[in-house]
Amino acid sequence: TYSNASNFDYTANLFPLSSSAGNGYAPLGAPTSTGLQGGGLGGTSLEKHKTLTYMNGLGLVVGLIIGSGIFSSPSQVNTNVGSPGAALIVWVIAGVLAWTGAASYAELGASIPLNGGPQAYLSKILGELSGFLFTWVAVLVLKPGSAAIIAIIMGEYLVRAAIGAEAETINPWIMKAVALVGLFAVTFINALSTRLGTRLNDMLMFLKFFALIGVTIVGIVVALTGFSVTGTANNEWKAHSWFEGTTTDVSRWAVAIYAGLWAFDGWDNTNYVVGEFRNPGRDLPRVIHTAMPLVIASYLLANVAYFFVLPTKVINSTNTVAVMFGGKVFGPIGALVLSIVVSASCFGALNSSTFTSSRLVYAAGKEGYFPAVFGRIGVGSTDPGLSSTRTRNWFSKKLHSMLSDEETGLFFTPVNAIVLNGALTVAYVIVGEFGELITFYGVAGYTFYFLTVLGLIILRVKEPNLERPYKTWITTPIIFCCVSLFLLSRAVFAQPLQTLIVIAFVLVGIPVYFWRIHGRDQVTKRDIGGTSRHGWKFWKRWAN
Ligand code: ARG
């Protein structure tokens, strides 16, 4: 069911004779280039079932971006730059920076429409090692680490909702237990059905926007009328000195921007699933250029609303600003409602991240970077689409036909990849040490963002004639590269130890790369050679 002529079907064309897709990158899917992504050797693949639409894309991006950040920690921005006015400027800078990154990624995604995002782009542009190292870091640390943070924050807000928002100390294990329950739910939903996962995303996206619009309206009403259920006078906005106390220290601005960037992070989310879009060339840029301005505007408005209702001191000293906001205006009920809203928002972000992270794992499995079971659809270790000669295990084949139904779509998902991603996230939730994780996230994450966007510029030079369904202004990637390089350099000097850990972790990936690639080439030989399981063809290849 992929009759749409504009689809780039890498999976159907084993060795495309011409650029029938109208895209200079058509041969990418062939095993001759970097690997086997798209199941070039046959078998079932997700990319054959292009289900994602513009709306789903919007749900995936907005769903992940609006998570915990805007509801919990504007304090990190405020305290660093010193004044409400400067804080709002930081939010604009961080938002625009995220937007330039997202626009650059949209160009890459539209011209290289494969699952896995930067894994595919870096492999094509800077060489396969860089694509592997991205995957190595992203699958093992970045994705599950950030999901764990979101899960724990979700747990915290749910517990707050249950035992009273004002509670000072909450046993971290209770929060973690709740986080794990949410995580299991999300993992199960995503393993069960692609459509269920994306529907849930779409719904939660609307909830998030409603929540932020609600906060804004309440803030404005309060500012105009001084309204408050609790009876305390509400005219905080007059009390703020908007620019007094603004710092001139560049490194504090940098830290504040970092904090803002966490709240905007997730703009790369659709890029991991480009291969499943019906019309990526059209929809990817459309998703980005609606999502980013909407998110930036709603974040600014929410911040203004917080300032309208709460004193600067309160905002700067809390990590649950939205709950404070609800409590100040509507009393305990307000605090309860907002706790639930924030945990729902985190749940949505978790869902969104599970959906896309598992596709990265899946692409890595297909590409041979990770064991092939992770590149499978459905339950078990056997691909239902492969010929029976390769089916080794009767049981897993049975399991498959029972549990992975191509028609209904039930369990027609990268189940193994989803489980791996879920298991890693569980591990981070259990051992999770926030501070460490967030710094690692910043340094490693922005290194790869930087490299990928730099790759866009390189690709423009190297392949000027590549068909690009969407082309951003060249200033966009340049701005992103300059600012992110600046931020990275600050972080490197401020946190040399964490930087070393990141570098060490990346280096460990290099031997793994050679081991995996060796293994993959062996498998390729075997499959193409047909009979020679352990065979002489492999040796012949070395002899040549
Ligand atoms: N922006 C999200 C939030 O405010 C965090 C996104 C984490 N990033 C990621 N790729 N999972 O909670």
Res 534: pLDDT: 39
- Nearest residue (by CA) to ligand 1, atom 3, is 67
pLDDT given for residue 424 in this prediction: 92
For residue 299, how far is its CA from the centre of ligand 1 (angstroms)?
Answer: 14
**Measured on CA atoms in the order 147, 152, 155, 160, is the torsion positive or negative?**
negative
CB 448 within 8 A of CB 143: no
From the first residue on, what is the mean pLDDT of each consecutive set of 10 residues in the chain (544 residues)?
Answer: 32 28 35 39 60 89 90 85 91 95 95 91 91 92 90 89 72 88 91 82 87 89 75 63 82 86 92 90 94 94 90 85 87 89 92 90 86 76 48 59 58 82 91 69 87 94 89 93 90 82 88 80 54 36 36
Residue 117 region, left (φ>0) first, then alpha (ψ -120 to 50), else beta?
left
Burial of residue 288 (number of CB atoms within 10 Å: 0-12, 13-18, 19+): buried
| C-alpha–C-alpha distance, residues 316 and 297, integer Å | 21
Pocket test for ligand 1, best of 134, 141, 150 (most atoms within 8 A of CB): 150
Tell me phi and psi for residue 277, to 5 degrees.
-80, 140
- The string over 253-272, giving b where at least 16 C-beta atoms fall within 10 Å of a residue's C-beta and e elsewhere, is bbbbbbbbbbbbbbbbbbbb
pLDDT digit string, tens, across residues 23-60: 333 333 333 334 434 443 334 566 667 788 999 899 88
Answer for the pair 290, 25: CB distance below 8 angstroms, yes or no. Answer: no
How close is the Cα of 261 to the center of ligand 1, in Å? 9
CB neighbours of residue 387 within 10 Å:
9
Cα 179 to ligand 1 centre (Å): 16
Q: Name 166's Cβ contacts closer than 8 Å, sequence gap at least 6.
A: 327, 335
Index of the ligand 1 atom closest to the CA of residue 353: 11
What are φ and ψ of residue 437, in 5° steps? -60, -40
CB 22 within 8 A of CB 467: yes
Exposed e or buried b per residue across 332-350, where buried means at least 16 C-beta atoms within 10 angstroms of its C-beta: eebbbbbbbbbbbbbbbbb
Whole-number Å distance, alpha carbon 59 to ligand 1 midpoint, is 14
CA distance 307 to 301: 10
Residue to mutate (ligand 1; options 265, 425, 446; most atoms within 8 A of CB): 265
| 3-state SS assignment for residue 408 | coil
Whole-number pLDDT of residue 137:
92
Which atom of ligand 1 has the smallest separation from the CA of 65? 1
Quote the ligand 1 centre to 381 CA distance (angstroms): 32
What residue owns the CA closest to ligand 1's atom 11? 146
Contact 410, 192 (CB under 8 A): yes
Q: Which of 438, 513, 504, 429 is nearest to 144 (CA)?
A: 429
Residue 277's SS3 state is strand
Mutate to test the pocket of ligand 1, among 142, 146, 154 (most ligand atoms within 8 A of CB): 146
Distance 531 CA to ligand 1 centre (A): 48
Q: 52 - beta bridge partners?
A: 277
Q: 84 C-alpha to center of ligand 1: Å?
A: 23
Pocket of ligand 1 (CB under 6 A): 64-65, 67-69, 146-147, 150, 262-263, 265-266, 349, 353
Buried b (16+ CB within 10 A) or exposed e, 484-496: beebbebbbeebe
Question: What is the model's pTM?
Answer: 0.83
Considering Cα of 21, then 25, then 28, then 32, what sign does the dihedral take? positive
- How many A from CA of 147 to the centre of ligand 1? 8
Helices (H), 194-235: 194-225
pLDDT at 411: 64
Which value does ipTM take for this structure?
A: 0.97
